[in-house]
Amino acid sequence: MTALLLAGVTLPAQTTATGTINAKLIHKGGIALVFDTDPAGVVLGNAGTAAASLNFGTVSAFGPLSPGVTRPTVLAGSYTVRTLFDVNVLQGGGGTPSYTLSASLAAAAPTGFTYAVDAVTLTTAAQNIQTNGAYGTDVQHSLNLTISSAAPGAGGPAVGTPLTTTINFTATAN
């Protein structure tokens, strides 16, 4: 035996193995909501996910705005800033032809501010934004922030106060 080891003789080795994997496929339908940056809008933070953020930057009734932000109206008592964003609802394993998109504010808007998605003014109650939406495609929406120009204490916001608001979106299979 020692002579065989010293002589460098190779002994055959087993190089095959077998195994079994037990797997079970559970097919469940579902939909996912994804926010994407619209080419004409503000670049979203965390784009491509269901938890994106949007920053209007510094806004005013007059003066420059951040890229992707427009000011569609300036009235005597208020002004509106707007940006575009895209929503893509993905369907996996379901059989519904379309979805309904709704939105609501997580908390009441601060005094002097009004939010709208497209033409729908948001409150803390869910409101339909889109019905019969097509799956798997970016659908453009606008986020509008209307700011009262009334004095603080008279219905207007405090000047220079940073604003953070959460908007909850829900996609429901039709």
Q: How far is CA 3 from CA 7, 11, 44, 51, in A?
A: 6, 13, 73, 70
User: Is 90 exceeded by the pLDDT of residue 159?
Assistant: no
Tell whether 5 is covered by a domain. no
pLDDT band (50, 70, 90) for residue 18 = very low
Tell whether 73 is covered by a domain. yes
Q: What percent of the chain has pLDDT over 70?
A: 83
Tell whether 95 is covered by a domain. yes
Residues contacting residue 97 through CB under 8 Å, at least 6 positions apart? 174
Digit-coded pLDDT (tens) for 25-53: 444 568 889 999 999 999 999 999 999 99
Tell whether 7 is covered by a domain. no
Tell whether 10 is covered by a domain. no
DSSP string, 55-85: ---S--SSS---TT-EEEEE-SSEEEEEEEE
Report the pLDDT value the prediction gives residue 41, as an integer from 0 to 100: 97
Q: How far is CA 20 from CA 17, 23, 154, in A?
A: 11, 10, 74
Per the structure, how many domains does the chain have? 1
pLDDT mean over 141-166: 89
Digit-coded pLDDT (tens) for 53-111: 999 999 999 999 999 999 999 999 999 999 999 999 998 876 789 999 999 999 999 99
Q: How far apart are CA 131 and CA 172, in angstroms?
A: 9
pLDDT band (50, 70, 90) for residue 21 = low
Tell whether 18 is covered by a domain. no
Q: How far apart are CA 24 and CA 124, in angstroms?
A: 42
pLDDT band (50, 70, 90) for residue 19 = very low
Tell whether 12 is covered by a domain. no
User: Is 60 exceeded by the pLDDT of residue 171?
Assistant: yes
Range of the domain at 74: 28-173
Residues contacting residue 135 through CB under 8 Å, at least 6 positions apart? 31, 89, 90, 91, 98, 99
Residue at 144: amino acid letter: N
Burial class (CB in 10 A: 0-12, 13-18, 19+), 122: buried
Tell whether 68 is covered by a domain. yes
What CATH number is attached to the domain comprising 43? 2.60.40
Q: How far apart are CA 86 and CA 117, in angstroms?
A: 12
**Cβ proximity of 44 and 52 under 8 Å:** yes
Report the pLDDT value the prediction gives residue 160, as an integer from 0 to 100: 77
